[in-house]
Amino acid sequence: MKFLEQPPRFFFFTGKGGVGKTSLSCATAMQLAGQGIRVLLVSTDPASNIGQVFGQAIGNTITHINGVPGLSALEIDPQQAAQQYRERIVGPVRGTLPDDIVNGIEEQLSGACTTEIAAFDEFTALLTDSALTADYDHIIFDTAPTGHTIRLLQLPGAWSDFLEADKGDASCLGPLAGLGKQRAQYKAAVEALADAQRTRLILVARAQPAALREVARTHEELAGIGLSQQYLVINGVLPPEEAAHDPLAAAICAHERTALDAIPEVLKTLPRDRVALKPFNLVGLDALRQLLVTTASQAPSTHAAPAVLVLDAPSLSALVDGIAEDGRGLVMLMGKGGVGKTTLAAAIAAELSHRGLPVHLTTSDPAAHLSETLSGALDNLTVSRIDPHIETERYRQHILATKGARLDAEGRALLDEDLRSPCTEEIAVFQAFSHIIREAGRKFVVMDTAPTGHTLLLLDATGAYHREIARQMAGTGLHYTTPMMQLQDPRQTKVLIVALAETTPVLEAANLQADLRRAGIEPWAWIINNSIAAAAPNSPLLRQRASHELREIDAVATRHARRYAVVPLLKEEPVGVDRLLELTARPSLITERA
């Protein structure tokens, strides 16, 4: 594997949920440790499952991995890190400052930005404090810091004085308030990430157009802030020999070849590796040892898949029946990138429109391509896109023209810099989002949301706006409705969580559901998309993969979802109105838990 040649001290594996970055980081750690090298594997993923992969508890302390001499692991808990970070800032002033001021500080530090920065706060020590990692030759991180976080840490040092002078507007700078004393450490951490001699970023993707577009954006974002030493790993490529006697396998192989032939230009110059799809779950030491082996091996497979797989699960059409009963409302599809939210949102909108109901289909995902997915028109259906760049520039110009008009040149320059922070985009998108969802009182609004992290930031902005309006309206006796109140009302909003029938996507979807419930939003249903088991494959490898899906589908059905549906993996991509309508044309009874 090219990405393992002349290994640097630090490895970062990054990619969206379900592409296999945890499996690859664990297998890499094992391979290096097998050479007699001392390795520390660190997960910064909120849905970390490296303990499950290795079959032992790990947690937030460095733990030796049983059966792998020289390998230790650590799972950084972002929520715990965020709580400790908040307390470090709020603790010294609690009881000293008035309660309303303390509450205001805590409110600033309650969002996803704080969690992201706190996690970065945790692992920067591993990048910069040699005493902490002196026992290890290599440090491998599962989930790299995002360009969003690093961009925040690159804001000018003058932001602290700017905040104290109360010249800013709503932005991500609040969560940065506790970083002043550690700016030198963060600067050193960013320098370490950008040093090709010390750090290698491995971009993990699947051989799918959407996944490759996503990783191309990640490449450009990280390269734009100096993290240029990147390698590309295409994971889970179906071996061509599986196509011989299975139309589904043949179609998958053809789609993967097409996707790789059309790989984005910015990725073509990166060193590239290809890892074959395995028939077994990547759990346990034997399975991990086989992942990076280039020759085919069935060794970790303990039993063959059944010759015939029977999956009795509700279909998407049953969910649409339940949605259509209300005649109007907001339908939001949420989940990690790459699970197929855009396709499913388009299918649901097309079916509702086909039934004669008025529908507005929109997206807040900068990567979405609704027009290509629909590839046609329907009566009663309008399509729009909340363009983050347009909305952000509109918001920036508004703030500069209002608050900026009262500032001197220095203050205006700092305000302009503040408004270039990543959270400005979230606020601007929130305003556009709020405008669109008002339509749900008279028609269906089907919304394809951005990947989970961006969606949670959007919900943070929604919640903060609600709390501010509630504070202002307290005691007035006036009636008011905020976007958050609409999201929390099941009569007005149905949230559909989209996942794949794989361990990590289901864990991440369960965590998203927990986040939503903490915000007072109860998801209405889950959709398991692109299920191999529901497609009844003939390929031996795909049948084994399908048999492993059954456990994850059962977990969704029995533990996570009140309602759910399973959508099969299709031979042809569902592009165009006719194929989208086929997704909702499979009658089935819906299963619902009390």
22 has catalytic annotation: yes
20 has catalytic annotation: yes
Helix (H, G, I), strand (E, B) or coil at 213: helix
**Which residue among the candidates 14, 15, 45, 337 is catalytic per the annotation?**
45
Task: Tell me the C-alpha distance between 234 and 209, whole Å.
Answer: 12
**Which residue among the candidates 20, 168, 236, 404 is catalytic per the annotation?**
20
Q: Provide the token pair at 214.
A: 């996503």
99 has catalytic annotation: no
Q: What are phi and psi of 476, to 5 degrees?
A: -85, -20
- Axis-axis angle for helices 452-473, 112-128 (nearest 10): 130
**Which residue among the candidates 18, 111, 178, 329 is catalytic per the annotation?**
18
Task: Tell me the C-alpha distance between 13 and 8, whole Å.
Answer: 13
Contact of 366 with 450, CB cutoff 8 Å: yes
In the chain, the amino acid numbered 10 is F
Nearest to 374 by CA among 584, 579, 586: 579
Name the CA radius of gyration of the chain, rounded.
24
DSSP labels, 77-132: -HHHHHHHHHHHHHGGGBTTB-HHHHHHHHHHTSSHHHHHHHHHHHHHHHHH-TTT
Task: Tell me the C-alpha distance between 11 and 532, whole Å.
Answer: 32
DSSP labels, 311-373: -----HHHHHHHHHTTSSEEEEEE--TTS-HHHHHHHHHHHHHHTT--EEEEE--TT--HHHH
* Helices marked H in 362-421: 370-374, 388-402, 409-418
**Which residue among the candidates 14, 22, 149, 373 is catalytic per the annotation?**
22
Contact of 227 with 193, CB cutoff 8 Å: yes
CA distances from 584 to 432, 537, 587 (A): 29, 21, 8
Contact of 30 with 285, CB cutoff 8 Å: yes
- Axis-axis angle for helices 388-402, 409-418 (nearest 10): 160
What one-character DSSP code corresponds to residue 94? B
452 has catalytic annotation: no
In the chain, the amino acid numbered 362 is T
- H/E element, 42: strand 39-43
77 has catalytic annotation: no
**Which residue among the candidates 16, 21, 336, 341 is catalytic per the annotation?**
21
21 has catalytic annotation: yes
**Which residue among the candidates 218, 455, 504, 531 is catalytic per the annotation?**
504
341 has catalytic annotation: no
**Which residue among the candidates 14, 15, 16, 23 is catalytic per the annotation?**
23
Residues with catalytic annotation? 18, 20-23, 45, 504
